[in-house]
Amino acid sequence: MRERSPAAQLAAVSWRLGMRREMEYDKTKVDEAVLALLYLNLFEHGGVIRAWKGFDWDSMDRLHEKGYIGDPKSKTKSVVMTEEGQSAAETMFTKFFAG
């Protein structure tokens, strides 16, 4: 795969972010999906059920193995999205949440 310049990468991300802001989507479906994802991380602490704010590590590892994201095992709170991952994420977001 040919590497794009940082400027070209930034332009592509800016365009995608603009498209996402303009896209109509079903926020109820997004909320339901977030709740479903939080369910994966439920735990009990001090008699209270809590959920980690991040995503399931096994899922993140699988996404990394598929080449969609950089290695999630780091101290940063975010992961690098590959070009393939950006495209797949947009496709899945549209499939599940676009109105």
DSSP string spanning 5-71?
PHHHHHHHHHHHHHHHHHS-B-HHHHHHHHHHHHHTTEEEETTEEEE-SS--HHHHHHHHHTTSB--
Task: Say yes or no to pLDDT of 2 above 70.
Answer: no
Per domain, the residue ranges of the chain are: 24-97
Task: Say yes or no to pLDDT of 7 above 80.
Answer: no
% of the chain exceeding 90 in pLDDT: 13
At 78 the pLDDT is 84
pLDDT in tens, 59-98: 889 999 999 999 999 888 888 989 899 899 888 888 888 8
Average pLDDT (21-32) is: 78
At 70 the pLDDT is 92
